[in-house]
Structures are given as structure tokens and as C-alpha cells.
């Protein structure tokens, strides 16, 4: 019994220490260096690595999600004689929720896990130690540009996801189901409000970008430098950041809608 309580205590202490280290890493990385602290070419390289190379998965996923939304929405709205609201439904769902959330989840799976594995391997092969011994701060050189690249990339990917999703919705509803395209695009234009819908979606995506990238770089930086340790850290990145995105989405939505 005592052993169990001690084990719970150890787990709790380790978790709090881990959160403390993660907070320290974030503060040090962001306070010590702006986006270009390791040189803008490094930042651009990282944006290419985590952002540009995620384009294909974002575009394909966005198009399919938009198509499914339109298909489901059409079948529901037709029962109430409101199919003309389909464009509104698709665009608001994507801009407010699915764009930021899905882009962040896909980003965590593709770029987040890669970031963790890359930094973990740099640690295991003593590249980070070598950097330190050359008088170069690995936080500034390795972590900061990757963190900023994630913060910059995710909102842009979310916007792209929503845009492609709306086109996917248009393809299904207008081209396949025969909805009048004026109703699809016109109602969307009349109801989507730039600040309430687009900007709030972008704020969400920025927060998700920061959180997912933070978790990814921390997991890599704090990983046990063995193949097993890096594998575990990579899995944790995907699991923790996915749950964090979904949990934060609820909190942000509640705050933005002023419901809580």
C-alpha cells in the first residue's frame, strides 16, 4: 500500500518537474530569441520543413473533409428545405472548427513527430552536446527556429485547409448534387463574418501551432537518447498534442463564444 502511494507520489513529482522543464524551455526559447535569432535562412528552412512539406496532406485531407461535410449537410438540410444554407454550414464549420483542429492534428502527426525524432536523434548522436561545447546555445539554434516555424505555419495551413475544404464542398454540392452555385457562394458571403469566423479561427490555429510545436520540441529535447526513448517520445508527441488540441479547442471556443 505504502509502495503504491510512493509510486503515485513519484509519478506526480516527475510530471510536475516535466511541466516545469517544458515551461522553462518555452520561456527560454521565446525570450532569448525572436523568429530570426538563428538567422532568417534557418527559419525559412524550418518553415519549409514543417509547413511546406505538410501542404500535400493538408490539401488532400481538406478537400475530402469538405466533400464529406457537404454530403452529410445536404442530406440533413434537404429534409428541412434549407439546402441553400449548405455553403454557410460548410464554411463556418471549417473556418471555426475543423480547419484549425484538423490542420493542427495533421501537423502533429506529420511535422510534430518528425520534429521530436529529429531533435531526439540530435541528442542521441551528441550533436546538441557538440553545439554546447562550441559555445552555441542549442535552444537558440535548434529549438527557437522550429518553434517559430510551427507558430507561423499552422495558421496558414489551417487557412489553406478551410479554403480547400470549401472548394471540396462546392464540388460535391454544386457539381455533383446540383445545388445552385449562387446559393452556395452567395449565402456564404452574406453570413461569414471576417472577424468572428476567420480571425477567431486563425487565433485558434496560432494557439494550436504553438502548443503542438512546443510539445514536439520539448519531447525531443527531453527524450531519453536511445532508440526506445526516441520512439516513446515521438508517440507521446502525437498523443499529448492531439489531446491538447482537442481540449484547448473546447476552452477557446467557449471563451470566444462567451458561453462560459
Cβ burial of 215 (10 Å; 0-12, 13-18, 19+) is buried
- Other beta carbons less than 10 A from residue 27's beta carbon: 10
In whole angstroms, the minimum distance from the beta carbon of 95 to other proteins comes to 37
Q: How far apart are CA 186 and CA 87, in angstroms?
A: 8
The yes or no reply on residue 130 touching other proteins (CB under 8 A) is yes
First to last CA, the chain: 41
Q: How far apart are CA 248 and CA 28, in angstroms?
A: 23
The yes or no reply on residue 196 touching other proteins (CB under 8 A) is no
Q: How far apart are CA 101 and CA 94, in angstroms?
A: 9
In whole angstroms, the minimum distance from the beta carbon of 50 to other proteins comes to 14
The yes or no reply on residue 44 touching other proteins (CB under 8 A) is no
> How many of the chain's residues bind other proteins (CB under 8 A)?
13
4-12, 129-137, 238-246, 248-256 -> range binding other proteins (CB under 8 A)? 129-137
- Residue 50 CA to its chain's centroid (Å): 11
The yes or no reply on residue 189 touching other proteins (CB under 8 A) is no
In whole angstroms, the minimum distance from the beta carbon of 137 to other proteins comes to 6
Binding mask 109-128 for other proteins (x = CB under 8 A): ----------------xxx-
Q: How far apart are CA 35 and CA 150, in angstroms?
A: 11
Pick 131 or 192: Cβ nearer other proteins: 131
Query: Can you give the binding site for other proteins, defined by CB under 8 A?
Result: 125-127, 129-137, 141
Amino acid at each position: 500500500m505504502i509502495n503504491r502511494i510512493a509510486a503515485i507520489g513519484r509519478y506526480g513529482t516527475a510530471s510536475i518537474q516535466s511541466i516545469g522543464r517544458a515551461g522553462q524551455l518555452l520561456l527560454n526559447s521565446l525570450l532569448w530569441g525572436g523568429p530570426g535569432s538563428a538567422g532568417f535562412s534557418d527559419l525559412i528552412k524550418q518553415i519549409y520543413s514543417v509547413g511546406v512539406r505538410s501542404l500535400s496532406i493538408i490539401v488532400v485531407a481538406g478537400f475530402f473533409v469538405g466533400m464529406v461535410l457537404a454530403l452529410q449537410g445536404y442530406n440533413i438540410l434537404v429534409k428541412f428545405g434549407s439546402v441553400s444554407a449548405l455553403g454557410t454550414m460548410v464554411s463556418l464549420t471549417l473556418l471555426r472548427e475543423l480547419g484549425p483542429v484538423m490542420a493542427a492534428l495533421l501537423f502533429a502527426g506529420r511535422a510534430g513527430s518528425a520534429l521530436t525524432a529529429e531533435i531526439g536523434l540530435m541528442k542521441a548522436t551528441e550533436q546538441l552536446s557538440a553545439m554546447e561545447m562550441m559555445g552555441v546555445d542549442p535552444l537558440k539554434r535548434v529549438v527557437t527556429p522550429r518553434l517559430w516555424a510551427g507558430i507561423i505555419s499552422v495558421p496558414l495551413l489551417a487557412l489553406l485547409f478551410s479554403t480547400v475544404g470549401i472548394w471540396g464542398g462546392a464540388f460535391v454540392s454544386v457539381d455533383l448534387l446540383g445545388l445552385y452555385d449562387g446559393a452556395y457562394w452567395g449565402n456564404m458571403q452574406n453570413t461569414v463574418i471576417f472577424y468572428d469566423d476567420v480571425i477567431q479561427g486563425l487565433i485558434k490555429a496560432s494557439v494550436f501551432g504553438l502548443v503542438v510545436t512546443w510539445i514536439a520540441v520539448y519531447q525531443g529535447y527531453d527524450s531519453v537518447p536511445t532508440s526506445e526513448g526516441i520512439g516513446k517520445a515521438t508517440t507521446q508527441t502525437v498523443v499529448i498534442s492531439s489531446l491538447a488540441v482537442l481540449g484547448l479547442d473546447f476552452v477557446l471556443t467557449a471563451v470566444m463564444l462567451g458561453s462560459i
